[in-house]
Amino acid sequence: MRRFEPSQPSKGFVATDQKNNMKFQAVILAAGKGTRMKSDKPKVLHNLAGSPMIEYVLDATKNSGIKKITLVIGFKKEEVIQAVEKWAKPHSELQIDFCVQEEQLGTGHALKVAEMQLKNNIPYLLVMLGDVPLVKSETLQKAAQEIESREAAALVITTKLDDPTGYGRILRDEDGILKGIKEQADASESEKQIKEVNTGIFIFDNRKVWNFVHQLKSANAQEEYYLTDIIELLNQSGETVLAYTAEDSKQFLGINSVENLKEIEKEVQLKL
């Protein structure tokens, strides 16, 4: 059996023709069990129209042009690896790697676990969620163009929802400049009225982000290390942070329950 340690990334399916001029790489956060799914199956392996939801996220990432993809895994990691490697077999141009998050201590902690695999000479890092299967590759491409053209330190993809319950709220100043993200559990009553939300998808300047990852603290309602806190830390240091607002909010529907799964299944069936 293969052994995996958080500090030692493990290789999965490795491309034989990896290019050295890549500008973007991706990490997909896929470690969760998903207790509300009422199943002992890893959350990202629940099926949508006959395929595990992680395949939709992998497809969108690949179709955006990214060749190096790292997955942060945890619960029943061997099953996730098997499913991802099966998907990757026809795609010899890709490099797929895995890192293990043994404890679920938040999105910021998940990124830190993958640091050794991700801290390299590829300039930009796209952070994806393994349970948001409807995201469009075109959205990822437009966001990538935005952060590169403006030479920003970070970009968060946002959208607007009539009912933003459960999502982190986007905080802007009087000039509309992104200042931070406030998670639902920590938001004030006025902040909860904000309709613009964090989709959970980020792009970071890979040369700058790691100093701020190590500054993350768990002093919040969930006692977790929030990736979203990096935005405020970057702002405080004088770095440029951007928000790319996508109009089609349905592509960011996440799966946290059996009900969510059924809802998104309908959306997938409509596209088939």
Q: For the ranges 13-27, 183-197, 246-260, which has the lowest average pLDDT?
A: 13-27
Closest CA to 227 of 214, 240, 239: 214
pLDDT, averaged across the chain: 90
Q: What pLDDT score does 32 carry? A: 86
What is the helix (H) or strand (E) element at residue 242, kind and residue range? strand 241-245
pLDDT digits (tens, 9 = 90+) for 60-94: 999 999 999 999 999 999 999 999 999 999 999 99
Q: What pLDDT score does 1 carry? A: 29
pLDDT digits (tens, 9 = 90+) for 127-139: 999 999 999 999 9
pLDDT at residue 15 greater than cutoff 60: no
Q: What pLDDT score does 259 carry? A: 86
pLDDT at residue 17 greater than cutoff 80: no
* Residue 82, both tokens: 């098997």
Tell me the mean pLDDT in the region 200-215. Answer: 97
| Catalytic, out of 2, 3, 36, 150 | 36
Q: What pLDDT score does 67 carry? A: 96
pLDDT digits (tens, 9 = 90+) for 232-243: 999 999 999 999
Q: Where are the domains of the chain?
A: 10-271
272 vs 260: CA distance, rounded Å? 19
106 HSE (CA, 13 A, CB side): 20
pTM for this predicted structure: 0.91
123 HSE (CA, 13 A, CB side): 11
Q: Which fold has domain 10-271?
A: Spore Coat Polysaccharide Biosynthesis Protein SpsA; Chain A (3.90.550)
Active site residue 207: no
Residue ranges of alpha helices (H) inside the chain are 53-63, 77-88, 107-113, 115-118, 137-150, 209-213, 229-236, 258-271
pLDDT at residue 3 greater than cutoff 70: no
Q: What pLDDT score does 21 carry? A: 64
pLDDT at residue 262 greater than cutoff 90: no
Q: For the ranges 166-175, 200-209, 255-264, which has the lowest average pLDDT?
A: 255-264
